[in-house]
Chain A
Amino acid sequence: MAGQRIIGKKRSESTAFAVILFLSFLLIGVIALFFILINDAAAELTANVNHNHIKIDFFYHGSSVSVGGISEPDTDLIIKITSPEGHEVLKQKGKVAGLLWMNTGTLKFENVPNLYSVHSTKKIDELLYQEEMDKYAIGYPALEKHVEISPVSKEEEKNRWFNEFVKLKESSKLYMSSSGKITTTLKDGKQYYYILTDWPYQAPPGDYIVTVYAVKNRKITEKTDAKVQVEQVGIVKTLSNMAKKKGALYGVISIVAALIAGFGVGLIFRKGGGAH
């Protein structure tokens, strides 16, 4: 009897344990489901690039690229388009003998993208904390911290040359920034965003990355990215490859073509000008 009771007690204990176990699993399940649902809601951010394969042909004069997608309602958006980072060497102009402007040296820029454009729904410094901008290299001040310039001795000198660098890049449309150009519309509890940007013809062939950031309470809550590929095709590709890989042949063809053109025009003028 006593043994049975013990067993009975044990059984009731184990039932209680099973119930607790079940409940805790249920709880974990509910919590997990909750997070999954939240994550699902967060994973709503999508990005589509309509024209993601730009072909440079003979008549190419730049293009346009539109970026659009879905985001959570009431979030702000930042769209960043960049090329992979590289390094650039540029000539530095300075005063010589206190009077004449000329090249006084070279500056090396490390970790700089050749193309960098940032579009946002509002001004970036109103949208994000400084740390967030720095973390994701969004905006010129953040990019400046990310970039290394040598040789510069002081912070203000770096700042000055970085600003010159941006000016140079902006003059060839490779660096760009805008705010308020992204349109957003609410539909079925989702926010649809869209922007149409000019793609500069100065951007060389290569792969470019479009990153879309969703912003809430001055922090980035999610990001997603898409790719834009720029490629030379046809005659442009043939000539460009030949210039790079078969320099001697390319040189000879260029010279022969010039000689023939020169003689050809000379002959035409002899016939045409014979009357004089």
Chain B
Amino acid sequence: MYLYLPVALTSINIFIPIGLGLAVGLLSGLFGVGGGFLMTPLLIMFGIPSTVAAATDSNQIVAASTSGTYAHWKVGNVDFKMGLYLLIGGFIGGLFGVQAIKVLRATGNADFVIKMTYVLMLGIVGTYMFIESLASMKKKKTEEVKTEKESIMGRFLKSLPLQTHFEKSGATHSLLIPIVFGGFVGILAAIMGVGGGFLMVPVMVYILRMPMHVVVGTSLFQILFNCIEVTFLQAYTNHNVDFILAVLLLLGSTVGAQVGAVFGRKLKGEQLKIILAVIVLLVTVKIIFELTLSPSIFLAQAGGH
């Protein structure tokens, strides 16, 4: 069954967006990522103009992350306080990031820099998470506690002012840490034109030392607010949000997020981390292939990556 999309100006078989929504929503509920790095290219592949694909995806993530946050909140896995500081940082970082893009565009080689940053970030984050979670899965058996590594970095972080306790995360940090790292992710996300969930999750796990299940819920919570902002700006300034496409996507993604959250509870933190690492690495490989294989058409619509 086909429906016509009034903003994308194209017709689509409704099972495609519902199916895509279900799959990407599942990833959201499981790992606390928005899934834009998968959804946007898939929508473009099915004939949606790139600008509409990105804008509509952010609208759809609002629904998926509401559904996911709700599911994680019910079992006490959302640290609202941490989420709030990350959001503040992310917001400030986003403002800097938008300026950074302008500077990059002025130098002329923006696309190259952006693509390279994206591939390197995905590759580094994926590899690190993979190795680390594999190591900690092995260590679990010998029950070794890794206190030595924390000492230098930990002492520095503990010496910062404005120390506060994050109850849900079970950690004490300076308020500056989530703000600064949230800001860092915000800058990169704005430059790369992605939501940044795949960067935020490792930051929370490895720098903020939050338990994986709380990371997923809290990440979804802050993605929700980011995507509300992005959806509004896209609708208001670029007129690129396709409501019908968003509804079809969210039919799948809201359900997928719930299923993902249920599955996530059955998996251990290390297992979640290692699966996410594999997905991030697969996406990296896919992008590297795209970059090296010669395209079938050498022209593309303006506006996408």
Contact = CB atoms under 8 A, between A and B. Distances in A.
Contacts of B239: 243-244, 247, 250
Interface stretch (B1-9, B93-101, B141-149, B205-213): B1-9
Contacts of A104: 111
B47 A92 contact: no
Interface stretch (B81-89, B126-134, B227-235): B227-235
Given A93-B300, A239-B243, A261 B250 contact: yes
Given A58-B3, A243-B235, A262 B291 contact: no
A202 B2 CA distance: 13
Interface string A249-276: 0111111011101111111011001001
Given A254-B231, A255-B62, A100 B297 contact: no
A236 interface: yes
Contact of A262 (B64, B247, B293): B64
A94 interface: yes
A50 interface: no
Contact of B299 (A56, A90, A266): A90
Contact of A273 (B65, B262, B298): B262
Interface stretch (A8-16, A165-173, A179-187, A218-226): A165-173
Contact of A165 (B233, B290, B296, B299): B299
A270 B299 contact: no
A90 B62 contact: no
Nearest to B61: A258
Contacts, number: 183
B3 A59 contact: yes
Contacts of A56: 4
B300 A254 contact: no
Interface in B232-267: 232-237, 239, 241-244, 246-247, 250-251, 254-255, 257-258, 262
A59 B236 CA distance: 27
A187 B296 CA distance: 48
A103 interface: yes
A2 interface: no
A87 interface: no
Interface in A126-165: 161, 164-165
Given A61-B11, A91-B302, A240-B7, A171 B258 contact: no
Contact of B300 (A91, A237, A265): A91
A258 B70 contact: no
Given A56-B4, A255-B228, A261-B254, A101 B302 contact: no
A262 B70 contact: yes
A60 interface: yes
Contacts of B232: 248, 251-252, 255
A107 B67 contact: no
B59 interface: yes
B10 A202 contact: yes
A232 B302 contact: no
A258 B250 contact: yes
A102 B293 CA distance: 10
Nearest to A202: B10
A183 B239 CA distance: 44
B71 A240 contact: no
Given A61-B11, A247-B236, 5 more contacts: A59-B3, A100-B112, A168-B300, A259-B66, A262-B67
19 contacts: A89-B302, A90-B300, A93-B295, A96-B112, A100-B292, A204-B9, A243-B235, A248-B232, A254-B246, A257-B243, A261-B67, A262-B63, A262-B69, A265-B63, A265-B255, A266-B67, A266-B71, A266-B254, A269-B258
Interface of A: 56-62, 89-94, 96, 99-104, 106-107, 161, 164-165, 167-168, 171-172, 201-202, 204-205, 232, 235-237, 239-240, 243-244, 247-248, 250-255, 257-259, 261-267, 269-270, 273, 276
